[in-house]
Amino acid sequence: MTVLECTQQERGEAKITKLALSFPALSGADGVRPWDAERLEAWLRSGAPGHGARCAGRFVLSVWNPYHEWRTGRFDVHEALGCWDTRHSAAFIAWISNPWWP
């Protein structure tokens, strides 16, 4: 991996961490800080998080890699908006207002 590739990956990890932290239910989630998608997915599958946190985690994982078949399941916008509070919905709306991918 070149220095440029390392820098781009680090920027992507910083951005995805910031996105994850915009969802209050993920503030203490394993794998968010430092970013580790596999650890986050394991945390989501552990039974520790509630429904809203699982939806937020699925969303963040789908932004990180929308083509990967995450074992925690696919993000479902209807499911998420049905259980999220205002702060979680606002975090989602902020991303869809200006979407980006790492």
Question: 57 and 49 in contact (C-beta within 8 Å)?
Answer: yes
How far apart are the C-alpha atoms of 13 and 82, rounded to whole Å?
A: 28
What band does 3 get if pLDDT is binned at 50, 70 and 90? Answer: very low
What is the structure's pLDDT at 64?
97
70 phi and psi, to 5 degrees? -70, 135
The 10s digit of each residue's pLDDT in 46-97 is: 998 999 999 999 999 999 999 999 999 999 999 999 999 999 999 999 999 9
What is the structure's pLDDT at 8?
73
How far apart are the C-alpha atoms of 37 and 82, rounded to whole Å?
A: 25
What is the structure's pLDDT at 76?
98
